[in-house]
Structure 1
Amino acid sequence: MKKRIFTFLLIFSFFVEFLSGEGVISDYTVQKVEDFVSYRVLLKSEDDETAFNEILQLKESALSELAEHAVDFEQEECILESLYLLEYYEHSLNSTGNQKELRTQIKNQMKKNTACIDSHKKKPVSEWLYQFTGDVTAYYMTRSVPATLLYGFKVKGYYEKSIEINKNRASSLVALGNWCFYAPGIAGGGKSKAKKYFDKALEAAELPGEKYLAYIAVSQINFENKNNNEAADYLSKAVELELGQKDLDLIARCNKKGYSYFQYLRNRSGIDEEMSEDEKDDDDK
């Protein structure tokens, strides 16, 4: 009887660990991700060249030591590569000349991540791999209308998987809220659904970088809903974190002109409707 109880408890503890994601990746990779979630906000106030150099140095350092610490090297490599590539790409949107090359990198990372997830059918996947696979896919899908239609629900699914593993992961809640904001109501999106996820993110946020994301999201959904005083209050909370002012000044300027940061990002990322035939992939047709 005691042996059966022990066996049950062992199986149950493994099941809980599987669902929670604990022990799926190393503490080393978790720490690199959590550190960068806040540090990336500070990088927003740096000029692009400085940010590029910082990101590349951090990536090289993190990956060079990964083999010594990894619990699941394949998965953790995808997580760290995505982490730094996403921020590099984010800064590239403010510069010129290399977007086409970076789109290819984003697509390759997307394929690598999805292949890694597919290979883990019988092994647990980290919430962070789902989160970042959603992010890289979201960046890639904005290249064209067909790509957006093809990948849109996949992005949502990755974020939902991340939250399924950790319902209190604020960055995933913000990401899913963003998806709902931009998706039409007929596809399951809408401002009211976005606000619910943003409010949950606000309650869950612990890391300074996650609080920053949640404050901005709640601020701007309030601005969209004409609650300008609340929008300003939450923007002030983001300022009080002292993680940099550049993006916050931009948001304030957008609001002063009468539109939200969500609208600014929609216009900035825009879909490329003028790709030549030789640039198009199957998902652009």
Structure 2
Amino acid sequence: MPSNLFPLGALPSRFRRARVLIVGYGDVGVRVARLLAPRVRLAALVRGELGPSDPGAAGTPERPGVTAVQRLRGDLDDPVSLRRLAGVATHVVHLAPPPAQGGDDARTAALLRALARRTPPRALVYASTSGVYGDCAGALVSETTALRPLTPRAARRVAAERRVRDFGRRAGVRASVLRIPGIYAPDRAGGTPRARLLAGTPVLAADDDVYTNHIHADDLARACVLALWRGLPLRTVNTNDDSQLKMGEYFDLAADLLGLDRPPRVARAWAMEHMSPTLLSFMSESRRLDNTRLKRELGLRLRHASPASGLLEKK
């Protein structure tokens, strides 16, 4: 039967033989595997003994609701350990984060070199970040907006996006880049602002506040799967819901839904003196992502168009 993920019903034979490799088998990777498990052969790159390939990776790919996932040991920080990935998959979902240091994403570079050693995959989906746009002063941002990353982490994502597109051009791979904002879900570790609300961490006053963007982890997983089959070559897609909330509005909404006190509001000048650089970095960029491509090209029908529904905890 047709569905949002497989709108033509049963997959054509070439897709039924698909072998999907998930790189970065954390929370979102498991959600992707749950969607794909009935239809394709799955493999997941999990943590090797020499170091973490992904801080969110599990010690085994067997998670609740996911079975028969081939375990591939490897370490994205150890390129030699990735040689076994050559030719293993027809489709790849790359969810692993970049290194914490350096001016480039060496992990993505190592992965792409390994994939190119034999027949490359037909499709590659890379999970980037909306942080590549930098501060847009609250403007509506499409995928053609100039990139102005303000943090080293975002700059590494820009470098990784370029590598992915170059790989797609050279190897004839249908490479897609998803630019992802804040991921949330009540059943995800740290997936709601509960801890921050309980700690009473302030947010900016309305006059100083910034726009933020969000996506429910389940909708993100569905976008990754759709991009495997529908993503256009060398295409970038903003992967966010329909909400246009300022940060304070998001935390107020979460507090109301979770039955907690709303956070205190402070002026930006106070925040600059008293809050950590990490928190300040999230309060220094304001943009509203346009998700037209997500819905028109990938055909994603959001199950949670706003955190107003997605933050509700299941009883």
Q: What TM-score comes out, normalization by structure 1 length?
A: 0.30
- Higher-strand-fraction structure: 2
Larger helix fraction of residues: 1
